[in-house]
Amino acid sequence: MTKANVGFIGLGLMGQGMATNVVRKGWPLAVMAHRNRAPVEALLAEGATEVKTPREMAERSDIIVLCVTGSPEVLSVVEGADGIAAAGKPLTIVDCSTSDPSVTLKLAEDLAGKDVTLLDAPLSRTPADAAAGTLDVMVGGADDDVRRVWPVLECFAGRIVHTGPTGTGHTMKLLNNFLAMGYAALYSEALMLGQKAGLTPQVFDSVIRGGRMDCPFYQTFFRWVLERDPNAHKFAIRNAFKDMSYLAAFANASGAANPIGAAVRNSFAQAVGTGHGEDYVPMLSDFIAEANGIK
């Protein structure tokens, strides 16, 4: 079977591992540099080719995977003067970013008139899983369109869930991140209160680990708390704040009250506002402790 030509935009912490799996599994791959050339050079050594603009990538590709920060970045690479849509040819875009579902739906509608299909396929798990090809992917789109890109998703996914029509993937991702960032905020506050009572993180962990409240997210979070491993969970606090802001916008548009979501968002907002946006999510525990007089 002839494999489709794949393009990949967004070679960051997640994207480089994903793209490496695509090219290693035999798909013709085009990549593009942003600020850091190191991932591009690594992928060229694996057999990828380099293009200079999203438009040039679209001219060469049947499927383009995006793994950028959020909706503004997606719009920039799709709709810009040298964007994907400017190529004026049929293709499929797979947006693996964590984007605003309302923006995704509007963009999908606009692109459909240009014979471009947009699918939302956001990710769960970590950069280590991206490199190992074991990410969770939640993909929204029509059945035939999802079937067409499924073999590409399998290159970097250990589990794929078809969530429904376009937009449902990004909505499910916001709910997934709400749970994860909610846990991060809870762990941070609980640790702080424990410290106030003289309970060390080690004692806290000895009670939680292996019990009903243990989970893989807890374990990566506590690799920072206990071992100070900076690579335990490489997801920036500013991105957590962005995702919780998308969730707030979704709740507002739905006419729903989400007081817990607002509280979680504010935990990250305070950290970003005091200069901790580039720290990783487990480091929220340090910020919450310091804000309450604990070093």
CA distance 147 to 92: 12
Specify the pLDDT at position 40.
96
If you average pLDDT over residues 133-147, what whole number do you get? 97
Residues with a known catalytic role: 173
pLDDT tens string 113-124? 999 999 999 999
Residue 28: alpha-carbon gap to chain centroid: 24
Domains, in order of start, for the chain: 6-165 (3.40.50.720), 171-291 (1.10.1040.10)
Average pLDDT, the chain: 96
If you average pLDDT over residues 19-34, what whole number do you get? 96
Q: Assign 80 a pLDDT band (cuts: 50, 70, 90).
A: confident
From the CB of residue 148, how many other CB atoms can be counted at a distance below 10 Å? Answer: 18
Residue 213: alpha-carbon gap to chain centroid: 24
CA distance 258 to 255: 10
Q: Assign 107 a pLDDT band (cuts: 50, 70, 90).
A: very high
If you average pLDDT over residues 145-165, what whole number do you get? 98
The answer on pLDDT for 295 being more than 90 is no
CB 70 within 8 A of CB 14: no
Q: Assign 2 a pLDDT band (cuts: 50, 70, 90).
A: confident
CA distance 164 to 159: 16
Helix axes of 168-196 and 259-273: crossing angle, nearest 10 degrees? 70
Helix H or strand E segment including 134: none
Amino acid identity of 99? Answer: S
If you average pLDDT over residues 211-227, what whole number do you get? 97
Q: Assign 1 a pLDDT band (cuts: 50, 70, 90).
A: low
Q: Assign 96 a pLDDT band (cuts: 50, 70, 90).
A: very high
Least confident stretch, 14-18, 34-38, 41-45, 96-100: 34-38
Specify the pLDDT at position 206.
98
The answer on pLDDT for 294 being more than 80 is yes
% of the chain exceeding 90 in pLDDT: 95
pLDDT tens string 43-76? 999 999 999 999 999 999 999 999 999 999 999 9
Q: Is-above-0.75 flag for pTM?
A: yes
Nearest to 140, CA basis, from 176, 172, 113: 172
CA distance 109 to 138: 20
